[in-house]
Amino acid sequence: MLDGTIVSDAIVAATIEVFTTMLSDDARAGEPYSEPSATGLADGVVSLIGLTGSWLGTGMVTCSAGLACKLSATLLLAEAGEAQQTVDEEVLDAIAEITNMIIGNVKNLLEPAVGELDLSIPTVVYGKNLTTRSMNDGEWTVVPFDCFGDRFEVKLCMVPNSGKPQRPALALTQATGRALNQIV
């Protein structure tokens, strides 16, 4: 089992790095905690990204619609007062990019402890009464942050890969010498 302190420390370091360098805000980390399942928010924006390799998992970022709009405007260098007031494709894309940067940095920080990992493309949803569910049985490490006066959460759940072949497409192409799209 992966030590929760290692995970929460990686989440804090990665999130503060992204907020400091890309979002001009000093995100303040709250007390990390664990939960048996990550249920997401009742309302707001949820961004999910998968991890695979010697460990499998899901990273999640959650925030309110208002904070998502503020983060999007800040990331895209909008002038003061030009922040989106509603969540649209631009806001969802910005949250996907923020998720990619944060969980990508977490991945890089965890690789010395867990081995090489790969990331999927983020999926972002927005709405009311959202519930999320992951198919693995691992425990989630959750770190809440206070940023721009609102709550932003980063969650991560990872379990050891149970011996399933890793990177089968790469192994297949290396073994046959043919491109995968020629085989399929």
**DSSP characters for 118-174?**
EE---EEEEEES-----SS-PPEEEEEEEETTEEEEEEEEEEE--SPPS-HHHHHHH
For the chain, what is the radius of gyration of the CA atoms? 17
C-alpha angle 82/89/148, rounded to 5°? 45
The first and second tokens of residue 40, run together, are: 């997401």
pLDDT in tens, the chain (184 residues): 677 789 999 999 999 999 998 887 778 999 999 988 766 556 799 999 999 999 999 999 999 999 999 999 888 877 655 666 788 899 999 999 999 999 999 999 999 999 999 999 999 999 887 777 666 677 889 999 998 899 999 999 999 988 655 544 444 444 444 444 433 3
Closest by Cα among 93, 90, 154 to 123: 93
* pTM of this structure: 0.83
Question: How many CB atoms sit inside 10 A of residue 117's CB?
Answer: 22
